[in-house]
Structure formats: C-alpha cells, structure tokens
A and B are shown apart, each in its own frame.
Chain A
Amino acid sequence: AQSVTQLDSQVPVFEEAPVELRCNYSSSVSVYLFWYVQYPNQGLQLLLKYLSGSTLVKGINGFEAEFNKSQTSFHLRKPSVHISDTAEYFCAVSDPGNQFYFGTGTSLTVIP
C-alpha cells in the first residue's frame, strides 16, 4: 500500500517570504503525485500534479513542486507568499488502481 507523510502540520510564514511544504511518500509502484489546497468551508482544489516528464511542476497561484524519486519526496514551494495563500494544503498520491492516498494536511498561515 501507498502512504503519504506531510512532515509539518502547521507552517506560519510572513507575507512575501518564501515557503516550502514538505511531502514524502512510500510506494512500491509508480504513482502520480498531487498537491491540493482547501480554503475555509470549501472543497479541495488541485494546485498541481506530476504524472510524468519534467520533475519540476508548476501549478496555479505561483506554486511549484519538485518530484524527487530517490528521496520519494514532492515538496511544494512558493517564492513569495500572499495573505490569500492562507489555507490547508494536502499532498496526495494515486496508484495504478486509481486509489488516492492523502497526507494529513499542512495548515499554512501567512502573517501580515
């Protein structure tokens, strides 16, 4: 079975500072990798995904993530955060059976 670990449950960061949200996964098969964002009282929205190809993936709202197969990581980064980036962020993997596995989430708080 696959599993996803988000190492930080809460990340406070000042506005306009860079941020990295960490995600590690374990899997014995090839997987797809995703980052989702959840704003208060809303469903999860896709930020970006890695299916194949370039290991650096760019998503919406200026976020990007890098797939590192040797370290089984898929960390999310943004060079300069905005107040509106305050939200819960979920890392997820899917396997060939279309099962999706989510991490426990990282709460990003951007401080003015």
Chain B
Amino acid sequence: DAGVIQSPRHEVTEMGQEVTLRCKPISGHNSLFWYRQTMMRGLELLIYFNNNVPIDDSGMPEDRFSAKMPNASFSTLKIQPSEPRDSAVYFCASSPGQYTGELFFGEGSRLTVL
C-alpha cells in the first residue's frame, strides 16, 4: 500500500518567493495533519483537517501560511511570501478518523529559505 506522499522532498527558495507543499494522504483516511519540525521548536501542529474541513488551524504561524484540502486525496500548504525563519521540515500525516488509531507520516518536505 502507498503511504502518505509528499512533494517536493527538498525545496530551496529565496526570501519573498511563494512555496507550495503538497500531500497525498493514504486512501480512505479521513483526517489530515500538517506539522512543522525545527531544532528549536520541535514538532508543531500547524493545521488539522477532518473530512476535508479544517478543524483546528490555531498552529498556523501567521497569515503568510495557508492550507487547503480540496478533496480527500490532496492537500496543499502554501507560504507566501516565504521568510528564512520558515526553513524547516514540513510533515504531512493522515489517520483513519476520529479516535481510531495512529498517524501515518510522510517523509517530509525540507524547506530552505535563503
């Protein structure tokens, strides 16, 4: 079975540019999560969708960040404009649904903003 698929795996961009990260969750999973991981702050939840609807976006750092889930098989995390402090590894994870088990993580997208 295919796991959670993220793209790109690595992205290097310049400050001010728009960045779009993509995620394909595991088929049949109803919940999708975006996390950010840095050395300083560890693993942070950015946003959580259930049945394509954003449930909790309190972790989104600021208006420069936006996330969408237009259908059950695709989600994007967009940063516009990007800043050097956005450099991190961004993980997408999916789960079967409420109170039904664990998160399945993608391999992450490593973002470097120069």
Residues of A with Cβ closer than 8 Å to B? 32, 34, 36, 42-46, 49, 51, 90, 92, 94-100, 102, 104-105
List chain B residues, Cβ under 8 A from A44: 91, 93, 103, 105
Name the prevailing secondary structure of the A interface residues: strand
A98 & B102 in contact (Cβ 8 Å cutoff)? no
Nearest CB of chain B from residue A95's CB, rounded to whole Å: 8
**Considering only CB atoms and an 8 Å cut-off, how many residues of chain B contact the other chain?**
25
- Report the bound CA distance from A45 to B4 in whole Å: 12
Contact B99 A42 (CB under 8 A): no
Do most interface residues of chain B lie in helix, strand or loop, or is the interface mixed?
A: strand
Chain B residue at minimum C-beta to C-beta distance from A95 = B99
Q: Which residues of A contact B43 (CB under 8 A)?
A: 90, 102, 105
Residue contact B105 to A96, C-beta cutoff 8 Å: no
Residues in B neighbouring A100, C-beta threshold 8 A:
33, 45, 95, 103
- Known contacts A44-B91, A96-B98, A98-B99; is-contact A104 B42 (Cβ 8 Å): yes
Q: Give complex CA distance A46, B3 in Å.
A: 13
Q: Assess whether B108 is in contact with A98, with CB atoms less than 8 Å apart.
A: no
Residues of B within 8 A of A97 (CB): 55, 98-99
| A105 and B42 contact, Cβ closer than 8 Å, known pairs A43-B91, A43-B105, A99-B48 | yes
20 contacts across the A-B interface (CB closer than 8 A)? A34-B102, A34-B103, A36-B105, A42-B108, A43-B107, A44-B93, A94-B102, A98-B31, A98-B48, A98-B95, A98-B97, A98-B98, A98-B99, A99-B48, A99-B56, A100-B33, A100-B45, A100-B103, A102-B42, A104-B42
Q: Which residues of A contact B95 (CB under 8 A)?
A: 98, 100
Q: Point out the residues of chain B lying under 8 angstroms from A95, CB to CB.
A: 99
